[in-house]
């Protein structure tokens, strides 16, 4: 009898109560499904960011500097990859690029460096003064590097020839006495204007000046809003 009791006790001590196999598999299935959802969301975000950074973007027009070609609140698709600005193109540019780069140069000089690294610029960008944060403008390319821009009797001349501007029927004049004409566009830069010449802060002003090609976000290709005005931008 004692031997039977000992055997029973031994069996009880060695018995491990486990969850039903079906319940365990259900938990694994739910965990796997949650992981797959998180993985899919993260992957989709990364892909979307890569597409936005490399290929194209959707931007909103703010203001009337490109009127009547573009209107306030228009939505545009802008292409990026491999784009090189050409005369007549409508582009999106970073209007504070020059000031921000000058700021980075001053910081580098204070550290005894020729320039800040890309990582250092990224860190500094998180605490930039308000007037150095990115502000995008939409403008038209009037001339590219090496070309000469002149304003004569209300008309725009590029390399001595009057510019054909079917998108604008008014006259074009200087808006900043510190900018003298003719102007030869520097290497790696473009000269831009808004189509609404009387209400556009552009390369005619020293506040913006010539735009470095690195400051160009991309080329406006298509207006997708408002729906009654969908079409190519040109």
Active centre residues (catalytic):
65, 139
Q: Are 142 and 134 in contact (CB under 8 A)?
A: no
Q: What is the dihedral of CA 190, 83, 56, 70, to 10 degrees?
A: 40
Length of the chain: 234
Please count the helices (runs of H) and the strands (runs of E) in the chain: 4, 12
Q: How would you class 93 by CB atoms within 10 Å of its CB: exposed for 0-12, middle for 13-18, buried for 19 or more?
A: buried
Count the Cβ atoms, other than its own, within 10 Å of residue 132: 17
Q: In Å, how far are 76, 152, 153 from 68, measured between CA atoms?
A: 15, 23, 22
Q: Give the residue carrying structure tokens 């703010």.
A: 62
């Amino acid at each position: 009898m004692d031997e039977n009791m000992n055997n029973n006790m031994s069996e009880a001590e060695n018995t491990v109560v486990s969850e039903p196999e079906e319940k365990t598999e259900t938990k694994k299935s739910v965990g796997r499904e949650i992981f797959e959802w998180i993985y899919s969301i993260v992957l989709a975000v990364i892909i979307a960011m890569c597409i936005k950074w490399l290929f194209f973007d959707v931007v909103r027009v703010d203001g009337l500097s490109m009127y009547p070609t573009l209107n306030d609140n228009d939505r545009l698709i802008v292409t990026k990859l491999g784009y090189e600005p050409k005369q007549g193109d409508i582009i999106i540019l970073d209007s504070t690029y020059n000031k921000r780069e000058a700021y980075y140069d001053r910081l580098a000089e204070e550290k005894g460096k020729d320039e800040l690294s890309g990582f250092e610029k990224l860190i500094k960008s998180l605490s930039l003064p308000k007037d150095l944060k990115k502000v995008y403008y939409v403008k038209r390319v009037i001339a590219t590097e090496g070309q000469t821009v002149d304003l004569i009797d209300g008309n725009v001349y590029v390399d001595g020839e009057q510019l054909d501007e079917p998108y604008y029927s008014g006259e074009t004049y200087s808006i900043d006495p510190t900018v003298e004409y003719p102007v030869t566009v520097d290497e790696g830069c473009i000269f831009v204007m808004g189509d609404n010449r009387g209400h556009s802060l552009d390369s005619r002003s020293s506040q913006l000046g010539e735009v470095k090609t690195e400051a160009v976000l991309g080329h406006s290709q298509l207006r997708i809003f408002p729906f009654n005005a969908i079409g190519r931008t040109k």
